[in-house]
Amino acid sequence: MPVLTVQPSGQQVDAATGDSILATLKENKIKINNDCGGEGECGSCHIFVTEGRKTISKLQREENAMLDTLVGVGLKSRLACQAEIGEEDLTIELLSFI
């Protein structure tokens, strides 16, 4: 079972392959903005995936288009609601707090 490490707190939670990062955070009561409820339409769940980027689902065109509208996007950027957890551990950095 992969482990999701959440920065800046350093909290670690068990994750399930195929679940979105957003769903995993919500299941573990870790606060993250998700204004559209995980539909990939708002960009508020923007995170950096700092470790394990190769294990998560590939960036799709719609997600990439949404990221293009946001400020502060970099190579590590993903939308937590669109990125699905793979087989290996990963580390993310939350960029906004509720």
Q: How far is the CB of 24 from ligand FES (least distance, A)?
A: 13
Q: How far is the CB of 49 from ligand FES (least distance, A)?
A: 14
Q: How far is the CB of 9 from ligand FES (least distance, A)?
A: 20
Q: How far is the CB of 80 from ligand FES (least distance, A)?
A: 6
Residues, the chain, total?
Answer: 98
| Residue ranges binding ligand FES (CB under 6 A) | 34-36, 38-45, 79, 81
User: Which C-beta is closer to ligand FES: that of 1 or that of 74?
Assistant: 74
User: Which C-beta is closer to ligand FES: that of 5 or that of 82?
Assistant: 82
User: Which C-beta is closer to ligand FES: that of 10 or that of 74?
Assistant: 74
The string of DSSP codes covering 23-85 is HHHHHTT-----TTSSSSSS-TTEEEEEE-GGGSPPPPHHHHHHHTTSSS--TTEEETTTPBP
- What are the φ and ψ backbone dihedral angles of 11, each rounded to 5 degrees? -60, 140
CA atoms of 66 and 46, how far apart (whole Å): 10
